Homo-oligomer: A and B are copies of this chain.
Amino acid sequence: MTAAGTEHVSRDERRRRTEAAILEAARALFAETGFERATIRAVAASAGVDPALVMQYFGSKDNLFAAATRWSREHVSVLDAPRSQVPAAAIADLFETFEGPGGREGAAALMRNCLTHPEANRTLRDDVMCSVASGVAETIGGEDAELRAGLMAACIMGLGLSRYLLQIPAVATASRADVERLLEPALCALLDAPERPAG
């Protein structure tokens, strides 16, 4: 018996359900314990399924990880935000990613492993950080735009890490409103390059 109940379900529907159950279990485990400690056996057990079935569905553990951490830049509002709204939109994007509907597990799984899993590292750097930062750089423009956008992305990532993964108490327990109120002015300072000191 698998996830389904006693009702009748078609074979296709069963397949879709168990695949989703495996993916969900994988996301949760990858996000909680990291890639190496999240064994295929544990994922399968959590999904109520035989380990071999996971292999059959996804081919390898790396494929499973790739499927569990797939990222799309669809809902990245900062890319469409006007210049003055970039800081607020960047913060909002982080909150939506981790606290919005759709679940944080996918993003958390990617972030949790971005320092130790080569593919997660590459994905977060190239497909997320660089991709978004270069879009933001175009929006904000001016001298050092790339670096200022990169620093903004770095601060946002630092916030995400501190709040959702490391769970620094002061940062993790603060309300969204407080974080927005305090951090937005800081990011706004990155919109414009400060005047060079007496040159």
A194 touches B167 (CB 8 A): no
> Is the Cβ of B146 less than 8 Å from the Cβ of A153?
no
Please give the distance in Å from A171's CB to the nearest CB on chain B: 4
Q: Measured between alpha carbons, how far is A162 from B188 in the docked complex, in Å?
A: 20
A151 touches B159 (CB 8 A): yes
- Is chain A's interface secondary structure helix, strand, loop, or mixed overall? helix
Contacts of A170 in B (CB 8 A): 130, 133, 137, 146-147, 149-150
B147 and A174: CB pair below 8 A?
A: yes
Give every chain B residue within 8 A of A35 (Cβ-Cβ): 116
Given contact pairs A166-B124, A178-B144, A194 touches B183 in the complex (Cβ within 8 A): no
Q: With contacts A182-B147, A186-B186 known, is A113 near B116, CB below 8 A? A: yes
Q: Does A36 contact B (CB under 8 A)?
A: yes
In the complex where A166-B124, A170-B147, A189-B185 touch, is A116 in contact with B154 (Cβ < 8 A)?
A: no
CA distance A35 to B36 in the complex (A): 10
Cβ of A34 within 8 Å of any chain B Cβ, yes or no, is yes
A-B CB contact pairs (8 Å), 12 listed: A111-B115, A112-B115, A114-B166, A115-B166, A124-B166, A151-B186, A154-B155, A155-B158, A157-B161, A157-B162, A161-B161, A181-B194
Apart from the given pairs A115-B165, A151-B159, A161-B161, 6 other A-B contacts in the complex at a CB distance below 8 Å: A37-B116, A151-B179, A153-B162, A155-B186, A186-B186, A189-B189
